[in-house]
Structure 1
Amino acid sequence: MRTGVPASEQTSCAKGGPQAYCPENTEGTEAVQVTDCQNPEDNQPQNEQGYSNPQDFGQLMASYEGKAKGYQVPPFGWRICLAHEFAEKRKPFNANNVSLSNLMKHLGMGLRYLQWWYRKTQVEKKTPFIDLINSVPLRQIYGCPLGGIGGGTITRGWRGQFCRWQLNPGMYQHQTVIADQFTVCLRRKGQTVYQQVLSVERPSVLQSWNWGLCGYFAFYHALYPRAWTVYQLPGQNVTLTCRQITPILPHDYQDSSLPVGVFVWDVENEGDEALDVSIMFSMRNGLGGEDDAPGGLWNEPFCLERDGETVQGLLLHHPTPPNPYTMALAARLTADTMVTHLTAFDPDSTGQQVWQDLLQDGQLDSLAGQSLPSQKGVGLAGAVCVMGKLPPRGQCRLEFSLAWDMPRIMFGAKGQVYYRRYTRFFGPDGHAAPTLSHYALCRYADWEERISAWQSPVLDDRSLPAWYKSALFNELYFLADGGTVWLEVPEDCLREETVGSMCQLRPLLREYGRFGYLEGQEYRMYNTYDVHFYASFALVMLWPKLELSLQYDMALATLREDLAQQQYLMSGIIAPVKRRNVVPHDVGDPDDEPWLRVNAYVVHDTADWKDLNLKFVLQVYRDYYLTGDHCFLRDMWPVCLAVMESEMKFDKDQDGLIENGGYADQTYDGWVTTGPSAYCGGLWLAAVAVMVKMAALCGAREVQDKFSSILSRGQEAYERLLWNGRYYNYDCSSQPQSYSIMSDQCAGQWFLRASGLGEGDSEVRD
């Protein structure tokens, strides 16, 4: 009896056409050979209309040799053949990329950074919010993430791997977990004829499994929050389409918060014989890193029947502090399917046990009871399998879900316990994983209808280019996978002196929670305000209450101060962490205690930045314009007055136009700007125009007259000092860059027009 799959007989795409291994002389099976894929050099490129036409998706699909189009895969999105290899191997920017001239110019900053980095990593045992020493390697592997907003995310690669994890809030682990796989098993007339891990990889563990799927006959298609992977199985006349669904639903403040993902497998049989088809979903308990090493992890099966629907699966309990969680692998049981499980196997072994179990009859043993707790240094994994009947020339559907329940979280400082948004609906006790799984598998069809209704007007608009349709939706991934947290706000967190005169702050935060997302996955600061300015349109147009919540948090932080002294890396000056009536750069680092300690950014003292206050004013009015929320405008009005009064000191010559200070005092924090500038000056004039409008709405006639006068003088100064007859100069210095064109000088004008203003007196020259 064969107990494993010899490497020489595994599926291969090597030139010469070796054949896929199918089980041989195994109990309950018979030896069957099938034709596998050959190198694309041995084939003529497909040119039929549809998925294999290279011109439709460019070089990313040039390697695709299959004819399968998959089940209901949309025509728009980002598509790539699983055999594609990127010709350009990119690397992240790090200290080695700094030129000698720049190094000498910023020598002081570099030395201060090294000193700060050493103290942060070696003394405080924390990770730097920007780590130039240990950059995350750039890997061109990532696809759509799983998980709603604020409950953590798990990113799958476009080749199907589970490879980026953000379960602990705001902190990423870039680990590809080999045991986390889907495997297909086909049986004809009671015999297993094909069994294959749906992965092109050939790892050093689980070697009894049949790895090395031929990527030339498979492709991935992303249109967030859904993704499709199509597998044409060589020689089997069978096509698998896996549809990945995440509940990202505009204007939905419940299901959009759920830490779940659904995998729907549509299996098509183009042959004349009936088949039994099984899909096995295996997963390691944990990531195989130091969090797992102490042991104590355990798995157990579950079955939840509710409202006539039954869901079965496995719970993977990971009780490691400070943020314990339970992962649930689950499948929907229907009249046409059978769900089985394997509670425990060793993911670092050859995998013979689970492979043979599936190979025997297309099912798993389904032993009752929980596993023993894992031993120190020993891995633990489990698997769930669904089997269905596949008629000749027919189709069947197999449905899985992945859910994770980490209800209580602590940030890096471990100072305060928070509850995630979804606990409002599914409870905070840590036992919600089965219910989340059941809910997801019963509701995903409704989610898909709502996703289609949201996306169709854009996708069906013939005036929009295909690349735009893809980018518009796929780039939304960052709202969920930006280290995002969506937290419940307890009543005692909002003290009366904190709330002040903001009448809507308490009810809004209590109802919709607190929202935070990072500037970047490796630029680790929550709600970095100078760049939220650009991204905020997605939030206010799709989840406006979250945008208002963020604005209230920013208003509260603006009115506070933190007089603790901080050395800033660029200049070396020592100044307070946060001054009153100045908009903060960010609300903190997830490895510290965000919202309680703001301004994790220590490169510059941003109290003197010229654009942060202006961006707050512009966003307040834009948010009012798009939501029509008069209470919000009234609450924000005193804060807008305070930050504009703070900004006045930068107009040193009282000509109605602010001046930059001769250093990088705005969001482009490596670009020195001197005197009046097109970018900051344009933002200033736009903010002044907005103050005129808001003063009128708030009945503040004296304020309206004051800012009307400033606007008139400022427009004249802007034209006189910056317009050179053809365009606006970068700034008013005598440096060569002064005569360059900065495209973002239009930012203020853009916001005015997006807010229904920008015509007539409030507009500068087009």
Structure 2
Amino acid sequence: MSDWGEKSTADLMSRYVSKDMGYGVPKEGWRICLAHEFKEKRKPFQAKDVSLSNVMEHIGLGIRYLKWWYKKTQVEKKAPFIDMFRAQPLRQIYGAPLGGIGGGTITRGWRGEFCRWQLNPGMYHYKTVPANQFTVCLRRAGQTVYQQVLSVERPPTLQGWNWGYCGEYAFYHALYPRAWTVYHLPGQDVTLTCRQVSPVIPHDYQDSSLPVAVFVWDIENKNDYDLEVSIMFTMVNGSGHKDDKSGGHWNEPFHLEKDGDAVSGVLLHHCPAVNPYTLCIAAREKVSHQTAFSPKGTCSALWNDLITDGRLDSPTGSSPPTAKGDKVAAALAVGCTVPAQSHNMLEFCLAWDMPKITFGSREREHIRRYTRYFGARGAASPALSHYALTHYRQWEKSIEEWQRPILQDSSLPSWYKSALFNELYFIVDGGTVWTELPEDADVSGGLRSENGGLPAQPAVIKEYGRFAYLEGQEYRMYNTYDVHFYASFALIMLWPKLALSVQYDIAGSVVQQDPTERLHLMSGRCSPVKTRNVVPHDIGDPDDEPWQRVNAYLIHDTADWKDLNLKFVLQVYRDFHLTQDRQYLQDMWPICQAVMESEMKFDLDGDGLIENSGYADQTYDGWTVTGPSAYCGGLWLASLCVMCKMAILLDNKEMYQLYRSTLDKGSTAFDKLLWNGKYYNYDSSGRDLSNSVMSDQCAGHWFLRASGLGDGEFKAFPQEKIRSALKSVYELNVMSFAGGHMGAVNGMRPEGVPDRSSVQSDEVWIGVVYGLAATMIHEGMLTEGLRTAEGCYRTVWEQLGMAFQTPEAYCEKSIYRSLAYMRPLSIWAMQLALNTFPHFLLFDRVVVVGEELL
């Protein structure tokens, strides 16, 4: 670990005063004292952060966006897919989310708050609900000696409760999908360790879909006398949303015995007109409950009920439906005896059941994946809780078996192990939906397999369902494809069937068209929503009707983007290489040919190399690029290379010759137009800034390496030039930026100052940096790759307080953009690179800065 890294990590725990490190807390992960305060307070990117020259260049966009925003918010009463006027402020509070994949999420803060909610699919709200708490009660010889809400907060409500736990005696530790909170109870010689477990298990397509989380409380009694210990779990019926007061919500106790195991708890039925659901708090042994209490006022009655004997009254029967304007909550208490100098444990479950969902347009009903196993009637919460409490140990065994080889690899730094697993939070908390394919669905786009298209219901979607996640919690578009290109490594490595399901959905969208004309905000011109035989930007907005209406993004007409088609082709072969699914390759081949044919039109001069069109026509949608470019030109050559490989595998010699000849021509032109002796120029326009150093210039080569290509017949770039380009990026974009401590800036001038020609060239994109680091590792530059990625992890997780909300971008100072973003899942590309090369080769081939590349 670097010196600056050691200090950064230590700062998070500097206020922890106890020596107790909890029960079973692992060494690796992200750890923070509950009393920690982050010194740096950043602001979201706003219009005032744009330079004058950029303002003048984009004044038309600004006027058109303002008009569109006003119509969307004030007339249609809908949420903009990107709200440039109401970016989320930075709340430095978030911890690991609860729940499996695609059933909705509830995020807990690292101080224990229930504070970020996504139960309605894809739609977030950020409300901390003060009454959602765990409380501990200690009793000795029949008398309560200590009762405390395990929260450092002092809310203005619930004044009858004992708040203000001293955060210096507690810390939080996350190693997703588990997290631990350790509380050393001052003056009591008792330590509580709350272990939070969610069923997020690679290659598991059943339990990983469940909307449940388990809280295991390990209680250590270090006294010379026995203690009775009770834990109370309180939960409001709702999520802090305004519909909590809409009326008609009610609670009821339940008891379920099955297979020799009994579970009891309270069901909280939340009954809005759209997407009703049931919350469930449950436990296994010595359960007492309070079916309903009002979470306003002092709530002294509930507090006194627990303090009397460590139990709650446990009334029978349901609560009456709430009146409009009122809220209702429930409480569950579980107790046990902890002998002197000994240990015991208690278990709780939180489940939520919203089996049927509609998106914002309310045109279609969708069924969540977990209903395949627990039914879609809305009565699954007891069974979900029972299953979770009787199976979580097996989940943990599977999680430990998956994580152990990486955690025990002493050659990998601790920060990397934390980053790799904790960044996976977005798979669950990316507004994620995982639904069953309707029986009457046709994903082929109308072009069937016998005509060069797809099956109406591909087997992988029929068996494993449909999957969608947002570009970001603030950038509300599902499966944004230019960004998924980076993030997809997490899916293809851990849940490959979901990755293939996404690809089939995208392939079906390729052959579709939507001729509806609409205004695109950057150009001010009208063009069709979707053009046939091009990859869509996204599959829709959850506030509309995803899958049915694609391309929610309307800043540019992405039919003219240069990267989307190529990213589809590269992912098809990468996925085949990792899965060896030949049926998938055969199904995708005609779609790949179609999008490559569409891409050919961008080669304006017939030299085998595509040209960018003088605007921001790729994933860097605010950074103008003209003519052949390092980024898109490199993706093009890499795509030609994998098309050659696929043509050989499918015994199509004619297409092999076409792509081979184009690749040979294009490679010559790419070298001639862009290589400057050290790296590939940003573009070939001859502008003042065309020779900027782009951190992402080797993206095409990265995918070749990730696909087992890049050498011999199937390479697109000379190895010595790739190495030289990576060395230049490391020396300039990494080490000459922010002291080498913040990752790689997107654009850097050869003289060592950031390219400030656009907002995006002056940013660090965390997901791009992880991809760059993977490329370096593929080329044997392990030290450089790890140092490059380390800067991003430490900046986001240790300096800026952005844990579990990694943004798309930050600048060297002051600002960030788009919290909780998809692209940083690309860190799993680093693991693929590490898996690909034996470690002894990696360490032998490390390139030292300042020395000549071999």
Matched, 1:764 2:724: no
* Residue of 357, 364, 369 corresponding to 1:421: 369
Superposition deviation, residue 54 in structure 1: 8.2
Contact 1:412 / 1:593 at 8 angstroms: preserved in 2? yes
* Residue of 497, 503, 507 corresponding to 1:551: 503
Q: Partners of 2:456 and 2:664 in 1: how far apart?
A: 34
Contact 1:76 / 1:466 at 8 angstroms: preserved in 2? yes
Matched, 1:283 2:266: no
- Structure 1 pair 80–264 and aligned structure 2 pair: CA distance change class (3 A): same
* Residue of 102, 118, 123 corresponding to 1:171: 123
Contact 1:315 / 1:326 at 8 angstroms: preserved in 2? yes
Q: Partners of 1:98 and 1:639 in 2: how far apart?
A: 40
In structure 2, give the amino acid aligned to 1:730.
Answer: Y
In structure 2, give the amino acid aligned to 1:422.
Answer: Y
Matched, 1:124 2:72: no
Q: Across the two proteins, how many residue pairs are aligned to each other?
A: 710
Q: Please identify, of 726-735 and 541-550, the stretch whose mean Cα deviation from structure 2 is larger.
A: 726-735
Q: Partners of 1:490 and 1:256 in 2: how far apart?
A: 21
Superposition deviation, residue 507 in structure 1: 2.0
Contact 2:458 / 2:504 at 8 angstroms: preserved in 1? no
Paired position in structure 1 for 2:296 = 348
* Residue of 197, 200, 209 corresponding to 1:257: 209
SS at match of 1:491: coil
Paired position in structure 2 for 1:88 = 40
In structure 2, give the amino acid aligned to 1:545.
Answer: K
Q: Partners of 1:223 and 1:497 in 2: how far apart?
A: 41
Q: Partners of 1:284 and 1:660 in 2: how far apart?
A: 54
Q: Partners of 1:393 and 1:154 in 2: how far apart?
A: 36
Paired position in structure 2 for 1:378 = 326
Paired position in structure 1 for 2:343 = 395
Q: How does 1:449-468 map to 2 (within 5 A)?
A: 449-468=397-416
Matched, 1:438 2:438: no
Q: How does 1:520-669 map to 2 (within 5 A)?
A: 520-669=472-621
Q: Partners of 1:74 and 1:635 in 2: how far apart?
A: 44
Q: Partners of 1:58 and 1:735 in 2: how far apart?
A: 46
Post-superposition Cα deviations, 1:449-479, rounded to whole Å, max 9, x if no partner, equal: 0000000000000010111000000000000
Q: Partners of 2:423 and 2:695 in 1: how far apart?
A: 22
Superposition deviation, residue 491 in structure 1: 1.7
Q: Partners of 2:262 and 2:525 in 1: how far apart?
A: 63
Work out which structure has the larger RCO, using CA pairs closer than 8 Å and 6 or more positions apart in sequence.
2
Q: Partners of 2:186 and 2:436 in 1: how far apart?
A: 50
Q: Partners of 1:173 and 1:55 in 2: how far apart?
A: 34
Q: Partners of 1:539 and 1:614 in 2: how far apart?
A: 19
Matched, 1:489 2:437: yes
SS at match of 1:519: coil
Superposition deviation, residue 497 in structure 1: 7.0
Q: Partners of 2:53 and 2:561 in 1: how far apart?
A: 26
Superposition deviation, residue 94 in structure 1: 2.3
* Residue of 670, 673, 682 corresponding to 1:718: 670
In structure 1, give the amino acid aligned to 2:263.
Answer: V
Paired position in structure 2 for 1:367 = 315
Q: Partners of 2:694 and 2:445 in 1: how far apart?
A: 43
Paired position in structure 1 for 2:352 = 404
Paired position in structure 2 for 1:245 = 197
* Residue of 147, 150, 167 corresponding to 2:99: 147
Q: How does 1:42-57 map to 2 (within 5 A)?
A: 57=9
Post-superposition Cα deviations, 1:659-707, rounded to whole Å, max 9, x if no partner, equal: 1111101110011101110111100000000111111111211000011
Matched, 1:109 2:61: yes
Runs (5+) with no aligned partner, structure 1: 1-52
In structure 2, give the amino acid aligned to 1:764.
Answer: F
Q: Partners of 1:675 and 1:717 in 2: how far apart?
A: 12
Post-superposition Cα deviations, 1:481-525, rounded to whole Å, max 9, x if no partner, equal: 000000000120127873610249432211100000000000000
Post-superposition Cα deviations, 1:8-66, rounded to whole Å, max 9, x if no partner, equal: xxxxxxxxxxxxxxxxxxxxxxxxxxxxxxxxxxxxxxxxxxxxx98693211011101
In structure 1, give the amino acid aligned to 2:115.
Answer: C
Superposition deviation, residue 321 in structure 1: 1.9
SS at match of 2:476: strand
Contact 1:141 / 1:157 at 8 angstroms: preserved in 2? yes
Paired position in structure 1 for 2:755 = none
Superposition deviation, residue 332 in structure 1: 1.4
* Residue of 182, 189, 197 corresponding to 2:134: 182
Contact 2:194 / 2:215 at 8 angstroms: preserved in 1? yes
Q: Partners of 1:195 and 1:101 in 2: how far apart?
A: 60
Q: Partners of 2:456 and 2:637 in 1: how far apart?
A: 29
In structure 2, give the amino acid aligned to 1:216.
Answer: E
SS at match of 1:478: helix
* Residue of 105, 113, 126 corresponding to 1:161: 113
Q: Partners of 1:496 and 1:77 in 2: how far apart?
A: 43
- Structure 1 pair 667–495 and aligned structure 2 pair: CA distance change class (3 A): closer
Post-superposition Cα deviations, 1:573-627, rounded to whole Å, max 9, x if no partner, equal: 1100000000000000000000000000011110000010000000000111111
* Residue of 635, 639, 656 corresponding to 1:704: 656
Contact 1:730 / 1:738 at 8 angstroms: preserved in 2? yes
Contact 2:228 / 2:335 at 8 angstroms: preserved in 1? yes
Contact 2:140 / 2:228 at 8 angstroms: preserved in 1? yes
Paired position in structure 1 for 2:733 = none
Superposition deviation, residue 734 in structure 1: 2.0
Q: Partners of 2:444 and 2:628 in 1: how far apart?
A: 41
Post-superposition Cα deviations, 1:231-280, rounded to whole Å, max 9, x if no partner, equal: 00000000000000000000000000000000000000011010000000
Q: Partners of 1:496 and 1:440 in 2: how far apart?
A: 37
Asked which structure has the greater CA Rg, the reply is: 1
SS at match of 1:310: strand
Post-superposition Cα deviations, 1:167-198, rounded to whole Å, max 9, x if no partner, equal: 00000010000010000000000000000000
Contact 1:206 / 1:347 at 8 angstroms: preserved in 2? yes
SS at match of 2:637: helix
Q: Partners of 2:85 and 2:363 in 1: how far apart?
A: 28
Paired position in structure 1 for 2:851 = none
Contact 1:559 / 1:580 at 8 angstroms: preserved in 2? yes
Q: Partners of 1:312 and 1:612 in 2: how far apart?
A: 51
In structure 2, give the amino acid aligned to 1:726.
Answer: K
SS at match of 2:696: helix
Q: Partners of 2:663 and 2:332 in 1: how far apart?
A: 66
Superposition deviation, residue 105 in structure 1: 1.9
* Residue of 169, 175, 187 corresponding to 1:217: 169
Superposition deviation, residue 91 in structure 1: 1.8
Contact 2:355 / 2:371 at 8 angstroms: preserved in 1? yes
* Residue of 70, 74, 93 corresponding to 2:22: 70
Paired position in structure 2 for 1:230 = 182
Matched, 1:683 2:635: yes
Q: Partners of 1:683 and 1:176 in 2: how far apart?
A: 44
- Structure 1 pair 515–496 and aligned structure 2 pair: CA distance change class (3 A): closer
Post-superposition Cα deviations, 1:389-434, rounded to whole Å, max 9, x if no partner, equal: 0100011100000000000000000000000000000000000000
Alpha carbon RMSD of aligned pairs, Å? 1.3
Contact 1:418 / 1:488 at 8 angstroms: preserved in 2? yes
